């Protein structure tokens, strides 16, 4: 088969990784640049907003709604990821991308002009609706427009787009907050979104629509999933007398909707694409249960300064990108089962080292080293799962299947972070030390990583 973008013969399953220049050749180069710009904008905006939200709270008040500025964004993505993935397969990528860019921009403008915290949360919800769709459309474009041999390279480049935002996002947010004001943090991304759209729209015209291959998804199920997840996460993150009721009700509402959206057999990790979707959930749950609480452990338990604790975020960003680049060289010769097993093993080992670091007798440097290992493992496993799904489905319903995997990925982040936060909150409520709660969060992360390791042989191989 010939790769029409470069004129080179395509060798499925070739062990030799393609040169990086191929992903930037011809019209494909514009698409690659646009997708990378969209990923960088999303990364920078996420980190900047996390930095400026204390200033938003000081200006708008309603501290009790603070957490919903994050939760509304994530919950909205649950609805649009599966819908936009199917839309790409049914109508091509252009129309869904235009709709999602429009929603994202409208959400930014509402947040920038918000007179109160509820209005800001509304803006974040609309922004999250667009962001979930952009994520799905971008990965769908990789599935539908790049040959199999180039996909690992593109996914690795997309992972690398989080490095510079990890370095400069928080300082930029702080600078905006103390100078021109936090509202500009929601305005600055708009020109970059416009530039990215100019790059990606022309080459996306070649994306084939497959209306007869894709079953319609009633809007009811994504909305029901959104409500169920919101109830369950509310119970996990804010323990009270209502916690058991919220969790049980959330599961009762969310699980039937989830079953309607994801591939049949996902909850049992059935061999093939269902196992890949389950693996995406476990992988993100693992990292989510530890990632957000590592700086808290360094500052609250090991008494490290905020500046030094923040370095762990930078270490993680670089290690994740390095793992993705390493994976992109092995994806043609190593089966996905082996790569995911390696990634899960590294995450489990690195997290155990980090957990041991709560002991003052362990050098703080060991915590950074452990997280470097865990993040490198995440960089290996994270792009491998969608790549294996793309390879398995070929050109038929690629965006639909990959979007289901991505939905489980986003769900995993929320559940992992919710379980980790619940450990912290329950330890506090029981009069236990912060160390006790953090060890609980890291234990959940290790157990989830080991579960991922156990199901990794069921994944599609990702090879011809």
> What is the structure's pLDDT at 24?
84
> What is the structure's pLDDT at 65?
67
DSSP classification of residue 210: -
Model confidence at 174, pLDDT cuts 50, 70, 90, reads confident
> What is the structure's pLDDT at 13?
43
Q: Structure pTM? A: 0.79
Q: Identify whether the C-beta of residue 348 lies closer than 8 Å to the C-beta of residue 121.
A: no
> What is the structure's pLDDT at 279?
96
Q: How far apart are the first and last CA of the chain?
A: 13
Q: Residue 305: phi, psi to the nearest 5? A: -65, 160
Stretch 353-357: mean pLDDT: 94
Stretch 123-128: mean pLDDT: 91
Stretch 206-229: mean pLDDT: 68
The residue ranges of every structural domain in the chain are: 22-201, 217-261, 268-464
The pair of structure tokens assigned to 131 is 């962001």
Which among 57, 51, 189 has a CA at the least distance from the CA of 121? 57
Q: Residue 17: phi, psi to the nearest 5? A: -70, 145
pLDDT at 397 over 80: no
Alpha helix (H) ranges present in 61-162? 68-91, 94-112, 117-145, 151-160
Burial label for 206, CB within 10 Å (0-12, 13-18, 19+), is middle
pLDDT at 217 over 70: no
pLDDT at 332 over 70: yes
The pair of structure tokens assigned to 357 is 């670091």
Considering the chain, what is the average pLDDT of its residues? 83
Model confidence at 14, pLDDT cuts 50, 70, 90, reads very low
Stretch 317-341: mean pLDDT: 89
> What is the structure's pLDDT at 346?
97
Q: Identify whether the C-beta of residue 98 lies closer than 8 Å to the C-beta of residue 135.
A: no
The pair of structure tokens assigned to 236 is 């996990």
> What is the structure's pLDDT at 92?
75
CA angle, corner 126, sides to 121 and 131, nearest 5?
115
> What is the structure's pLDDT at 378?
94
Q: What is the pLDDT of residues 31-57, one digit of tens each?
A: 888 888 988 888 888 878 877 877 887
Model confidence at 396, pLDDT cuts 50, 70, 90, reads low
Class of domain 22-201 as given by CATH: mainly alpha
Same fold, 22-201 and 268-464: yes
The fold of 268-464 is: Growth Hormone; Chain: A; (1.20.1250)
pLDDT at 298 over 80: yes
Model confidence at 363, pLDDT cuts 50, 70, 90, reads very high
pLDDT at 173 over 90: no
Question: CA torsion, points 206, 211, 213, 217, in degrees to nearest 10?
Answer: 120
Q: What is the pLDDT of residues 220-268, one digit of tens each?
A: 888 888 888 888 877 776 667 788 898 899 999 999 988 888 888 999 9
pLDDT at 16 over 80: no
Round to whole Å and give the CA distance between 230 and 72: 9
């Amino acid at each position: 088969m010939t790769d029409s973008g470069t004129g080179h013969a395509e060798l499925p399953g070739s062990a030799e990784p393609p040169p990086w220049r191929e992903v930037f050749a011809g019209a494909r180069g514009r698409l690659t640049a646009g997708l990378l710009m969209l990923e960088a904008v999303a990364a920078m905006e996420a980190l900047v907003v996390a930095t400026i939200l204390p200033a938003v709270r000081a200006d708008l008040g309603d501290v009790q709604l603070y957490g919903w500025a994050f939760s509304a964004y994530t919950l909205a993505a649950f609805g649009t990821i599966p819908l936009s993935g199917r839309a790409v397969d049914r109508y091509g990528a252009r129309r869904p991308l235009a709709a999602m860019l429009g929603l994202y921009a409208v959400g930014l403008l509402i947040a920038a002009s918000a007179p109160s915290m509820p209005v800001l949360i509304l803006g974040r919800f609309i922004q999250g609706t667009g962001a979930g769709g952009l994520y799905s459309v971008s990965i769908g474009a990789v599935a539908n427009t790049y040959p199999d041999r180039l996909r690992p390279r593109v996914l690795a480049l997309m992972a690398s787009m989080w490095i510079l935002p990890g370095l400069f996002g928080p300082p930029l947010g702080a600078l905006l907050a103390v100078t021109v004001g936090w509202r500009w943090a929601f305005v600055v991304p708009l020109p970059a979104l416009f530039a990215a759209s100019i790059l990606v729209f022309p080459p996306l015209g070649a994306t084939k629509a497959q209306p007869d291959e894709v079953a319609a998804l009633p809007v009811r199920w994504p909305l029901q999933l959104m409500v169920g997840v919101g109830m369950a996460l509310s119970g996990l993150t804010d323990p009270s007398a209502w916690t058991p009721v919220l969790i049980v009700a959330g599961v009762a509402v969310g699980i039937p909707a989830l079953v309607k959206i994801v591939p049949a057999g996902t909850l049992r990790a059935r061999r093939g694409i269902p196992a890949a979707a389950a693996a995406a959930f476990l992988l993100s749950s693992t990292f989510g249960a530890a990632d957000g609480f590592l700086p808290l452990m360094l500052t609250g338990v090991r008494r490290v300064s905020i500046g030094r604790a923040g370095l762990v975020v930078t270490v993680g960003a670089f290690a994740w990108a390095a793992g993705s680049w390493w994976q992109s060289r092995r994806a043609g010769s190593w089966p996905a089962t082996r790569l995911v097993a390696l990634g899960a093993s590294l995450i489990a080992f690195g997290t155990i080292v980090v957990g041991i670091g709560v002991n003052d007798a362990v050098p703080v440097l060991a915590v950074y080293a452990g997280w470097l290992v865990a993040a490198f493992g995440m960089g290996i496993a994270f792009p491998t799962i969608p790549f294996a799904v793309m390879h398995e489905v070929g050109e038929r319903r690629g965006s639909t299947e990959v979007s289901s995997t991505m939905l489980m990925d986003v769900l995993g982040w929320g559940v992992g972070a919710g379980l980790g936060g619940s450990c912290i909150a329950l330890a506090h409520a029981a009069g236990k030390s912060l160390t006790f709660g953090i060890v609980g969060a890291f234990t959940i992360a290790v157990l989830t990583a080991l579960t991922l390791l156990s199901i990794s042989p069921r994944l599609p191989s990702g090879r011809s």
